[in-house]
């Protein structure tokens, strides 16, 4: 592959006046889409919905540090430092869909949009090609998981892609305000997601925060329906207990109903999820236990940065930092439980 220096890349990008109108899937054996679709800090690829592999070359004459995000504020590549005069190549796989963010939200911009960020960004080259060997990780969840449309909010599913290498793609169908009841009933949610699930695709299910009025029998039945629906498509369901809310008791622990997702009817959502996982022989990511341990270890003050307490007095939704930390916990469990190959995951 031809290496483009930063100087040459900027020159090429400065001469671009229009984006390619040919979708990537129509290129067949011809060249991949590249820098001609970029400006100094962003790229737009006029591609059809689908899954695409992206290969970037980062670096240039000076020491640089580059991160890449895309679509509705998804983190796709963590900040990557390069020494002066050196370049590094990185690859990832990205899901392009409509709507591009929350399933019940605005459609967003057609095609693939990438933002070149970081403290000293330098994109030397980029190539986008249709993915041929990709395993999808579908996310079924609420506002603590979804691709949040605006700062300062971020769901952990929005940060998960930066931990994955080429060959694993996140299709985040989490949606704000959804319960197990509404997720099953809304046409844009599970009725849309289910037919898209392929054999061996993972489907991570975290729904509890909005099941405030759902009785235990209904909640359990809804989880069982979701599990059965995933398996009917040949997919692999994974039940995820909800992240804790940042509500401390006087003794410095998160031991009250609000923090630990026990609703007004006395339904202990994490306990029901654990029970269904055991009964249905479904892998379990106990994110309630893991986030509880982390928040308590940080304490009342230290945990404020995980959530949006300082910005919004919000003890439920996470900051971009907190969402990234929580996505890291999910990443670790995916590897530990052998749900994804360790070689397809970024560590650190």
Query: Which CATH number belongs to the domain containing residue 102 in this structure?
Result: 2.60.120.260
Question: What pLDDT, in 10s, does the model give residues 29-83?
Answer: 446 799 999 998 999 999 999 999 999 999 999 999 999 999 999 999 999 999 9
Closest to 97 in 3D by CA, of 106, 78, 110: 110
Tokens of 184: 């099953």
In a domain, 9, yes or no: no
Residues 214 and 336 in one domain: yes
Provide CB contacts within 8 A for 299, sequence distance 6+.
252
**Residue 338 per-residue DSSP state:** T
> Which regions of the chain are under pLDDT 70?
1-31, 348
Last residue of a domain, one of 107, 130, 153: 130
Predicted structure pTM score: 0.91
Same domain for 166 and 296, yes or no, is: yes
Q: Distance (Å, rounded) from C-alpha 100 to C-alpha 109?
A: 8
Q: Is the residue at 8 inside a domain?
A: no
Range of the domain at 319: 135-344
For residue 96, the 8-state DSSP code is: E
The residue among 333, 318, 293, 324 whose CA lies nearest residue 142 is 318
Q: Which of 104, 130, 156 is the last residue of a domain?
A: 130
Same-domain status, 110 and 203: no
User: 6 in a domain, yes or no?
Assistant: no
The reply to whether 123 and 166 lie within a common domain is no
Task: Label the pairing between strands 135-141 and 202-206.
Answer: parallel
Q: Choose one of 100, 130, 160: the last residue of a domain.
A: 130
Q: Which of 76, 74, 71, 75 is nearest to 54 (CA)?
A: 76
Residue 7 domain-assigned (yes or no): no
Tell me, yes or no, whether 321 lies in a domain.
Answer: yes
Buried b (16+ CB within 10 A) or exposed e, 39-50: eeeebbbbbeeb
- Residues 80 and 179 both lie in one domain: no
pLDDT for 347 equals 86
Q: Tell me, what's the pLDDT at 18? A: 27
If asked whether residues 179 and 120 sit together in one domain, one would say no
Secondary structure letter of residue 36 according to DSSP: G
Residues 111 and 234 in one domain: no
Asked if residue 1 belongs to a domain, the reply is no
- Predicted confidence at residue 340, as pLDDT, reads 97
Q: Do residues 231 and 252 both lie within one domain?
A: yes
Residues in a beta bridge with 268? 262
User: Same structural domain for residues 157 and 120?
Assistant: no
The β-bridge relationship of strands 50-59 and 87-96 is: antiparallel
Residue 54 covered by a domain: yes
- Identify the pLDDT of residue 348: 66
Q: What percent of the chain has pLDDT over 70?
A: 91
Q: Are residues 189 and 287 in the same domain?
A: yes
Beta bridge partners of 89: 57
pLDDT of residue 125: 97
- 291 and 212 within one domain: yes
CATH of the domain at 223: 3.40.50.1110
Both tokens of 272, joined, read 């029901």
The total of structural domains in the chain comes to 2
Would you say 40 and 13 are in contact if contact means Cβ atoms under 8 Å apart? yes
From residue 266, give the alpha-carbon distance in Å to each of 31, 179, 215, 258: 59, 16, 8, 11
Task: Name 53's bridge partners.
Answer: 93, 129
pLDDT of residue 31: 60
Residue 165 and residue 105 in one domain: no
pLDDT value of position 20: 28
Specify if 2 maps to a domain.
no
């Amino acid at each position: 592959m031809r290496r483009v220096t930063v100087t040459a890349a900027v020159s090429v990008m400065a001469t671009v006046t229009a984006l390619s109108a040919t979708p990537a899937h129509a290129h067949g054996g011809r060249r991949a889409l590249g820098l001609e679709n970029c400006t100094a800090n962003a790229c737009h690829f006029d591609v059809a919905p689908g899954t695409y592999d992206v290969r970037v070359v980062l670096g240039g004459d000076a020491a640089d540090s580059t991160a890449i995000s895309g679509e509705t504020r998804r983190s796709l590549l963590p900040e990557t430092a390069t020494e002066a005069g050196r370049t590094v190549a990185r690859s990832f796989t990205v899901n392009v869909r409509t709507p591009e963010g929350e399933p019940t939200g605005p459609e967003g911009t057609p095609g693939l949009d990438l933002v070149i960020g970081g403290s000293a960004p330098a994109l030397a080259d980029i190539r986008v090609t249709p993915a041929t060997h990709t395993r999808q990780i579908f996310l079924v969840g609420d506002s603590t998981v979804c691709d949040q449309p605006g700062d300062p909010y971020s769901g952990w599913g929005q940060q998960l892609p930066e931990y994955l290498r080429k060959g694993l793609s996140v299709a985040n169908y989490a949606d704000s305000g959804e319960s197990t009841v509404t997720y099953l009933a809304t046409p844009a949610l599970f009725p849309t997601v289910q037919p898209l699930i392929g054999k061996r695709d993972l489907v991570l299910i975290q729904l509890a925060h909005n099941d405030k009025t759902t009785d235990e029998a209904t909640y359990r039945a809804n989880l069982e329906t979701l599990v059965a629906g995933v398996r009917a498509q040949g997919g692999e369901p994974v039940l995820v207990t909800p992240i804790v809310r940042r509500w401390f008791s006087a003794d410095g622990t998160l031991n009250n109903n609000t923090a630990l997702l026990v609703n007004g009817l006395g339904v202990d959502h994490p306990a029901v999820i654990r029970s269904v996982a055991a009964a249905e022989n479904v892998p379990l990511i106990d994110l309630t236990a893991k986030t509880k341990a982390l928040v308590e270890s940080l304490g009342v003050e230290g945990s404020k940065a995980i959530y949006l307490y300082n910005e919004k007095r919000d003890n439920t939704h996470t900051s971009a930092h907190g969402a990234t930390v929580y996505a890291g916990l999910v990443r670790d469990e995916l590897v530990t439980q052998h749900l994804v190959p360790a070689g397809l995951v970024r560590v650190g």
